[in-house]
A and B are shown apart, each in its own frame.
Chain A
Amino acid sequence: MRYAYYPGCSAHSTARDMHQSCLAVAKKLGIEMEELKGWTCCGATAAHQTDRALAASLAAANLVLAKEAGLDMVVNCAACYNRSKAANYEMINSRSVREEVEDMLGQPYDGSVAVRHFVEVIVKDIGLAKLRKKITQPLRGLKVACYYGCYLLRPPEVTGFDDPENPSILEDLVEAMGGEPLEWPGKVDCCGGSHNLTRTELTVERSGEIIEMAKAAGADCLTVACPMCQTSLDLRQRDIEKAAGKKYGLPVLYVTQLLGLCLGVPPKELGLDRLMVTPEEIMKAIMI
């Protein structure tokens, strides 16, 4: 099982823990991840809010590398995943954008590289039955609110990740880990992350509602697959608490961190010490 791996810029900055836990889990499961040499920024929100062809070109530059390697491209950052899939969609569906992109890149690209989220690789390529056998430290009924956010799901014709209104892939994964995935109403809402620094009050409000809903459903923790969501919900949780006038203390773990714990990876190798809201209670519950 070999893939081209696109880490994304946050892997070396705000989401080092996402990157670490992804690689640790891959290693445990025997998934070979070949990091693309010379990979560049996917353009993120800034590019698509600025110029359509620029956005498609920046993302396509990496897809070309994966095409040259002859491998599917695995992405663990939901935002990079979204932008890469959107670039493929543009290449296939808009002739004018494709022409512009090929001119910007100075080489042809047909939108054919399969872009996979790391969660898809685990659930679909490895399979939950096989995964269950590798779990050494199950979640023991831990109540987990699975939070998808925007980038994995929308627009559905671009990402094709799961049902856009009621996805269940993360819940299936949590169940396989021995946890109790909660039914709760906030899982496809937006965390407001794109305004994290520009209009922080919007992020605090959106993410505050998500934390409140997860808490009300009885969550022991939230689990996410997007570094923007993780930052909004974890790093901003103190601001959320200040605005709400109450204490939540709700840990927000990457799903790869939870999975890593279940597979017996030491917490430090999963970057659990990097979370702002301490996951100590979660670790205690799992690592008996």
Chain B
Amino acid sequence: MTIRVKKQKSKEGLLHAVEEKAGVNLASCYQCKKCSTGCPVSGKVASPPSEIIRRLQLGAGDELLQTDLIWTCLSCETCSARCPNEINFAAVIDALRSLALEKGVARPEGNMPLFNRLFLETVKDYGRSYDLKMISLYKLRGGNFTADMDKFPAMLKKGKMAVRPPSGADKAKVKRIFNKAGKKGGSGK
């Protein structure tokens, strides 16, 4: 495998930020590749988990935030469960996601960031998720409106999609959490 790393102004690139955010020590990786072997999407991405770690060790910078594993990852955490050196790689991916959002990196295939944002917006408004609203907005803004239209009638008939917004949650508490998260620069908006 050949790994190309762009030279950065700071020698270290994203390594320290990722380690801090994820609470991991990437120096303990010895490239056994169990993470990449167990990863269900390894074969579909440019760099599998072990390679992402190597790139970070070699000083990769913001260009790594464009790598497709970040938003292809299914968050199944098989990588973390199998690492012999207790590197929580799923947390590394979450840290990269969070950095990508903070730095406004271009949207990936599938638009998971939009989905997550809309999900969290309904949680912020209602204290709980509101599937119907969230999915409708996602479809409107994501541009794939007709996909899965065949499923809605059956879901409604079988009571598998609540029509009315959720009620009963302590909304004030959730608003407080989001407002605090927003202030410190997290994506609480």
On A, residues with C-beta under 8 Å from B are 9-10, 12-17, 38-41, 43-54, 57-58, 61, 93-94, 97, 100, 103-106, 150, 153-156, 164-165, 189-190, 192-195, 197-200, 202, 206, 235, 273-276
B3 at the A/B interface (Cβ < 8 Å)? no
Residues from chain A with Cβ under 8 Å of B158 in the complex: 273-276
Q: Check A192–B101 contact: CB distance below 8 A.
A: no
Bound-state Cα–Cα, A52 to B115, Å: 17
Q: How far is the CB of B70 from chain A (nearest CB, A)?
A: 9
B21 at the A/B interface (Cβ < 8 Å)? yes
- In the complex, which residue of chain B has the Cβ closest to the Cβ of A55? B94
**Inter-chain pairs besides A50-B186, A199-B109, A274-B160, 6 sampled, C-beta below 8 Å:** A43-B120, A49-B98, A50-B98, A105-B177, A150-B78, A202-B72
Q: Check A153–B123 contact: CB distance below 8 A.
A: no
Q: Check B129–A41 contact: CB distance below 8 A.
A: yes
Q: Check A57–B181 contact: CB distance below 8 A.
A: yes
Q: Check A41–B123 contact: CB distance below 8 A.
A: yes
Do most interface residues of chain A lie in helix, strand or loop, or is the interface mixed?
helix
Interface bracket on B: 35 or more
On B, residues with C-beta under 8 Å from A are 21, 23, 40-41, 44, 72, 74-78, 80-81, 88, 90-91, 94-95, 97-98, 101, 109-112, 115-117, 119-120, 123, 127-129, 131-132, 135, 138, 147-148, 151, 154-155, 158-162, 166, 168-171, 173-174, 176-178, 180-181, 184, 186-188
Do most interface residues of chain B lie in helix, strand or loop, or is the interface mixed?
helix
Contact of B176 among A44, A106, A165 (CB under 8 A): A106
Q: Could you write out 21 A-B pairs with CB less than 8 Å apart?
A: A12-B166, A13-B129, A13-B132, A13-B160, A38-B170, A40-B169, A40-B171, A40-B173, A41-B127, A41-B128, A49-B94, A50-B186, A51-B188, A54-B178, A54-B181, A190-B74, A195-B112, A199-B112, A202-B41, A202-B44, A235-B155
Total A-B Cβ pairs within 8 A: 178
Contact of B74 among A93, A100, A202 (CB under 8 A): A202
The answer to whether A38 and B168 touch (CB under 8 A), given A14-B160, A54-B177, is yes
- In the complex, which residue of chain B has the Cβ closest to the Cβ of A13? B162
The answer to whether A104 and B177 touch (CB under 8 A), given A94-B23, A195-B110, is yes
Q: Check B176–A104 contact: CB distance below 8 A.
A: yes
Q: Check B74–A192 contact: CB distance below 8 A.
A: yes
Residues from chain A with Cβ under 8 Å of B174 in the complex: 40-41, 58, 61
The answer to whether A155 and B81 touch (CB under 8 A), given A45-B75, A51-B181, A273-B158, is yes
Bound-state Cα–Cα, A195 to B68, Å: 14
Contact of A51 among B23, B98, B112, B123 (CB under 8 A): B98
Q: Which of B72, B101, B169 has the most CB of A within 10 A?
A: B169
Q: Check A154–B78 contact: CB distance below 8 A.
A: yes
Residues from chain B with Cβ under 8 Å of A48 in the complex: 75, 94
Q: Check B94–A13 contact: CB distance below 8 A.
A: no
Bound-state Cα–Cα, A235 to B63, Å: 38
Q: Which of A10, A13, A103, A194 has the most CB of B within 10 A?
A: A13
Contact of A235 among B75, B151, B177 (CB under 8 A): B151
Bound-state Cα–Cα, A14 to B134, Å: 13
Residues from chain A with Cβ under 8 Å of B166 in the complex: 9, 12
Residues from chain A with Cβ under 8 Å of B40 in the complex: 189-190, 192, 206
Residues from chain A with Cβ under 8 Å of B184 in the complex: 53, 100
Residues from chain B with Cβ under 8 Å of A97 in the complex: 23
- In the complex, which residue of chain A has the Cβ closest to the Cβ of B154? A276
Residues from chain A with Cβ under 8 Å of B21 in the complex: 52
Bound-state Cα–Cα, A192 to B88, Å: 19
Residues from chain B with Cβ under 8 Å of A50 in the complex: 97-98, 101, 116-117, 120, 186-187
Q: How far is the CB of B82 from chain A (nearest CB, A)?
A: 8
Residues from chain A with Cβ under 8 Å of B138 in the complex: 197
Q: Check A200–B147 contact: CB distance below 8 A.
A: yes
Q: Check A54–B160 contact: CB distance below 8 A.
A: no
Q: Check A199–B180 contact: CB distance below 8 A.
A: no
Residues from chain B with Cβ under 8 Å of A275 in the complex: 158
Bound-state Cα–Cα, A15 to B112, Å: 22
Q: Check B97–A40 contact: CB distance below 8 A.
A: no
Q: How far is the CB of A278 from chain B (nearest CB, A)?
A: 11
Bound-state Cα–Cα, A8 to B180, Å: 23
Residues from chain B with Cβ under 8 Å of A40 in the complex: 123, 127-128, 169-171, 173-174
